[in-house]
Each structure stands twice: as structure tokens, then as C-alpha cells.
A and B are shown apart, each in its own frame.
Chain A
Amino acid sequence: MPFMLPSILRNVFSGPATRPYPANPRQPFADARGELVNDPETCIFCSICAKKCPSQCLAVDKELGTWEWDPFACVYCGVCAEACPTKSLRQTNVRRAVARDKQSVAVQGQPKPKKSP
């Protein structure tokens, strides 16, 4: 215990090590892995993201032009955003907020017209 005395004294005179959350939340790091954002304008609904996803939290329908993401099944690895051929899907640095109910995020875009045979 006597060897802890300098640390104890330092802690008495320095500020608290924790911050008053939630009044003062920490700002996210620039490279933090957060929520996914998909732009329906540039998405081609190729479903490469859904095929690469290790937690299978993405569902894409080319015919209907829908892209659906389950933020509660997502492991936030960012593989999908890296695989996106049009860079329409990107990962922000903002973490998913806590929620009372599980909800998925759906994006509706224009389905690609079928090529005439």
C-alpha cells in the first residue's frame, strides 16, 4: 500500500478519469467504425455487399431496387463498404445509438431496367 501513495495523491489533485456521460459524450475518432449509409442515387443493387457480409445483415433486391440493413445484426467490420463497386455504400464514424426496439434501415432506389434480349 505505501507504494500506491504517489498515485493516490496524484488522483486526489487531478481531475476525474471519467467524463460526465451522457451530458458530455466523447466525440468519435475520425477513423472509428460506425453506421452504414447507402446512397440510393448511386447504388446499383448488385448485392456484392450482401454476399461479402460475414454476419449476413444485408438484404438486397435488384428487381425491386431495395437495400436493407439490420444494424443490430451488423458487426461493423466495414467489409461491405470496402467491396462496394460504386462507393455508394460508406461507413460513417458515428456509432449506432441505443434503441428500445430493433429496427432495420431500408433504402428504396430505382431498379435497373432490364436489358432487352
Chain B
Amino acid sequence: MKTSILPFGPQHPVLPEPIHLSLTIENETVLEARPALGYVHRGLENLVAARDMHQMVQVVERVCGICSMIHAMCYCQALEEMLDIQAPPRAEYLRVIWSELHRIHSHLLWLGLFADAMGFESLFMQLWKIRERVMDINEATAGNRVIVSVNVVGGVRRDIDEDQVAMIEKELVTVEREVKQLSLTLLTDFTVKKRTKGKGVLTREQALELGAAGPTLRGSGVAQDMRQLGYAAFKDLDFEPVVETGGDSWARAAVRFKETLQSVDLVRQALAGLPQGDLAVKAKGKPEGEATARVEQPRGEVLYYIKANGTKHLDRLRIRTPTFANIPPLTVMLPGLELADVPVVVLSIDPCISCTER
């Protein structure tokens, strides 16, 4: 049988962002997938030459349009390590609250897109309706819906008062109830299982060998979560990484679904233990040297490397985002699949291409 090469993307109805896959197919079966990137490079890392290290907080927030707060938190943690300062306890708890709110809305966004990729439009709408509550919490507490701009080197810029704590707790009760109402549909529905069970399988060994990160890794049975490092206030909070052993699209969706509920619990724990005190310590001086920081994004581990040269501008900033780590696993997930399953499996790694290309 003659094989042919089919271009998938960069513009494809199921892809919110441009990634190109060259699919070698025989009949309807994929034999090989070769990814190609480079359509949305913005050169954000290079901006360190034009913006000083404090202004870069607002730049790195724009690396990702979904988990913006977590990028800024990681950057601030790296700079704090270099300047040898420690954010006050209240700031660390507030960082956990906002970062987990970002994880909730990111996972709800992805679950919605995943449902949409399967053609399950009403589930997509339901999930995004719930997500809107989390966006409202972000706007009411931090001032913006997505790019909340709450981080500063040395702490946070915004506080959450008693009324806002009550509002968040009230909204989270509704979010949790509404998410749980959809659990049967998302995890046990015949249509969903038919489209996801056994599709795009990544074994535990393959995941480790190819360096998968985040829910893609945990869906293959590896209990690795950067929050276990105990950055910010995670050292004081009680949680276990969510793990599924199937390694297929369904397992990755189940990890994200369960993590949404886990994040609701983490926000509650952080609100209950919110200590009193300052919001930030002053970040003085022009550092010299190198530092790295890694935190858990909704998509996996993000790593920041910074190098400073004793001036107000950094020498080098390097960002490794989780999607960059999750693209190689795609090359073993896709072969053997029917062409119609490719969009769902590509989406199952939660690709964030703008992040990857920065």
C-alpha cells in the first residue's frame, strides 16, 4: 500500500494555536508524526535587554495567556533566590491561592476544548460556564481576569480582605458542585470513553524516556508534581499528586479533572491558613550570578533560568515550558491511530504553543 504525507495544521479547526504535524498515513492509519514549530515566536526572552528586571515580571506574565500568574511567580522566585530575599508568609499563601485559581480555570478551559474536539458541544459550554466563576474571582481579587499582575519581586502587590475570602469560599462551593455534576459525563459517558479510552497510549517507560511533564506524565502512572518541592506555601499544605495508570487520552483527562477538584481544596486550605503580615519585602540591589526556579504549571513543570551581570538588566533569561517537553511524546502517541482520532490525542497533551515558542 502506498503511503502519503498529510499536513495537519498549523491552521486546523481543533487547534487554538499553530503547530504543524507531518502525518505519514497509510489508508486512514497514521504511521509517523513529525512535529514542526516556529509559527508564533515572539522573542520575549530577548526583551531582557530592553526592560529592567522588575519590568520583566509583566513581560513573562505574557508568555502564557492562561497560566500567566504562575510564570510571573516562577520568575520572581528565581530573582528572589538570587537577591537572597524571602517573600513574607502571607505573600506565599496569596501566591498559592492565585496560582491554584489559575490551575482551576486552565483545566476547565482545557476540559472544555477537549469536549469540543470530540464534538461534545454542550459539555464544552457547561465547563466554560463554570470557568467564568473562577474568572470573576480573579477579577474581583486581582483586578484582571487572566493576566492578573499580582507578583512583584519580593512578594505580591494585592491583598485579599475578609469579604473577598468569603466571596471566594462561596463561589468555590458552587464551582465544586457544578464540576462534580459533570464527573459522570466526563469520565463514564459512552461517547467520551469511545473517543478516548486506549487512544494515544504513552506507557510509563516511554513517558520517562521522552521526558513528559505534568498531567501527561501523571496520566502514565508517574507521581511527579513540582508542587511537592514545597515552593511558596505548598510545604504547609496537604496534597497528593493525582495519578492515573492508563496512559491514554482518557487517563490524561481524568488527571486534569481530578486536579481541578484538588486545586479547589488547595485554595480552601490556603484561605483557612492565610497568615497576617506584610505583602512584600523590598527587593534592593543589582544582583550578579545565576539562578533557576521551577514550579508546576497546569501543563507541567516550567523552568526559569536567569543570569544577571550586576546591572538593572538581566544578562539572559531562559524559559523551558511544559509543552516543549510534551511534544516528543506525541511522536509515539500518534502512530497506529486512525486519522479521526489525531485531533483529540494532540489536544490531550494540552499544547500551549505560544508558551513553547515564547
Contacts and interface: CB of A to CB of B under 8 A. Distances in A.
Interface stretch (A60-68, A73-81, A97-105): A73-81
Interface string A1-30: 101101110000000010000000000011
A33 B184 contact: no
Contacts of B142: 31
A55 B50 CA distance: 11
B182 A7 contact: yes
B46 interface: no
Interface string A71-97: 000011111001000000000000000
Q: Which of A8, A30, A55, A77 has its CB near the most chain B CB atoms (within 10 A)?
A: A77
B144 A3 contact: no
Contact of B185 (A4, A17, A55, A79): A4
Given A1-B189, A7-B181, A29-B139, A52 B55 contact: yes
A17 B143 CA distance: 22
A12 B188 CA distance: 24
Given A1-B191, A6-B181, A54-B51, A17 B129 contact: yes
A4 B123 contact: yes
B185 to A, nearest CB: 4
Interface in B87-141: 122-123, 126, 129, 132, 136, 139-141
B279 to A, nearest CB: 11
Q: Which of B55, B181, B191 has its CB near the most chain A CB atoms (within 10 A)?
A: B55
A76 B184 contact: no
A32 interface: yes
B176 to A, nearest CB: 15
Contact of A78 (B141, B143, B185): B143
B149 interface: yes
Contacts of A52: 54-55
Interface string B212-256: 000000000000000000000000000000000000000000000
B58 A77 contact: yes
B181 A55 contact: no
B339 interface: no
Contacts of B181: 6-7
What is the predominant secondary structure among interface residues of chain A facing chain B? loop
B212 to A, nearest CB: 30
A57 to B, nearest CB: 12
A55 B184 CA distance: 46
A64 B188 CA distance: 69
Interface string B182-210: 10110011010000000000000000000
A84 to B, nearest CB: 14
B318 interface: no
Interface string B135-157: 01001111110010100000001
Nearest to B132: A17
A3 B186 CA distance: 9
B122 A54 contact: no
Interface in B39-67: 51, 54-59
A3 B189 contact: yes
Nearest to B157: A82
B129 A4 contact: no
Given A7-B182, A54-B55, A77-B149, 5 more contacts: A3-B185, A3-B189, A8-B122, A17-B132, A31-B141
Interface of B: 51, 54-59, 122-123, 126, 129, 132, 136, 139-144, 147, 149, 157-158, 181-182, 184-185, 188-189, 191
User: Closest 3 interchain pairs by CB?
Assistant: A33-B143, A54-B58, A3-B184
20 contacts: A3-B184, A4-B122, A4-B126, A7-B185, A29-B136, A29-B139, A30-B140, A31-B141, A31-B143, A31-B158, A32-B143, A33-B143, A54-B56, A55-B58, A75-B58, A77-B58, A77-B149, A79-B58, A79-B149, A82-B157
